[in-house]
């Protein structure tokens, strides 16, 4: 039985990804931080466990893996955002962004990789962002964390390729989730106008691409950054 873990999977892209993978035969464990009821509702549909852990805390991540056991697919989805001028960003907020968005990826990989290497197979798919590719005004810190995820993915793919492990990331554009709930209708309209497909993305748009990357048909794809932005950046 193929076992997966999706972090930050109680809602949004994470929940959609867990469901998309489940529909393709994966048993999916659902990591969450605060939304226990939502996580349990998703896990009931995916056949896995709902497990609480702050991915920025290695001890919590280690305890999570002890509970769920080894996985064949790790989807690093958990992340936070912070908008505003860089000069208005506190040192604590800057550190928290990096702790969750990139150290969280490291912590989960650190626990998942030994079993994958032993079995000479496995996959890691991380959530970057189109802002990690192109950068974004008033999103400097967030852009920096997602740029780090991209570099991390490329390097880790080279390191783990000889062990038969594929490592990729996806770079969503503007997706209608809680993370973009602060945007106004005018903001959404402007972003839709700037997008070749003239609309805002949905969580399922990202989830289906992740599921395709996890499919055996993508067996020779590694070290890649797959843009899922409707043509926002071409």
Residues involved in catalysis: 142
Residue 234 CA to residue 229 CA, distance in Å, equals 9
Q: What are phi and psi of 133, to 5 degrees?
A: -90, -50
Q: Are the beta carbons of 169 and 127 closer than 8 angstroms?
A: yes
Residue 178 CA to residue 76 CA, distance in Å, equals 17
Which tokens go with 77? 């989805």
Three-class secondary structure of residue 177 per DSSP? coil
Strand partners, 76: 126
In terms of C-beta density within 10 A (0-12 exposed, 13-18 middle, 19 or more buried), how is residue 186 classed?
exposed
What do you get for the CA distance between the two ends of the chain, in Å? 38
Residue whose structure tokens are 């349990």: 40
HEC per residue, 196-232: CCCCCECHHHHHHHHHHHHCHHHCCCCCCEEEECCCC
How many helices (H) and strands (E) are present in the chain, helices listed first?
9, 7
């Amino acid at each position: 039985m193929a076992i997966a873990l999706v972090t930050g999977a109680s809602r949004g892209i994470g929940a959609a990804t867990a469901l998309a993978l489940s529909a393709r035969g994966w048993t999916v464990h659902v990591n969450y931080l605060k939304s226990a009821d939502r996580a349990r509702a998703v896990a009931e549909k995916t056949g896995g466990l709902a497990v609480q852990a702050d991915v920025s805390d290695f001890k919590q991540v280690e305890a999570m893996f002890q509970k769920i056991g080894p996985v064949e697919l790790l989807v690093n989805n958990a992340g936070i955002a912070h908008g505003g001028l860089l000069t208005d960003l506190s040192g604590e907020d800057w550190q928290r962004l990096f702790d969750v968005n990139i150290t969280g990826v490291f912590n989960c990989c650190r626990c998942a990789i030994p079993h994958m290497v032993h079995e000479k197979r496995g996959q890691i798919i991380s959530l970057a962002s189109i802002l990690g590719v192109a950068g974004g005004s008033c999103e400097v810190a967030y852009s920096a964390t997602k740029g780090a995820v991209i570099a991390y993915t490329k390097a880790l793919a080279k390191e783990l390729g000889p062990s038969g492990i594929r490592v990729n990331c996806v770079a969503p554009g503007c997706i209608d989730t809680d993370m973009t709930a602060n945007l106004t209708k005018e903001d959404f309209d402007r972003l839709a106008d700037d997008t070749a497909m003239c609309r805002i993305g949905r969580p399922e748009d990202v989830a289906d691409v992740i599921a395709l990357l996890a499919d055996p048909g993508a067996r020779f794809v590694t070290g890649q950054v797959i843009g899922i932005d409707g043509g926002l950046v071409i």
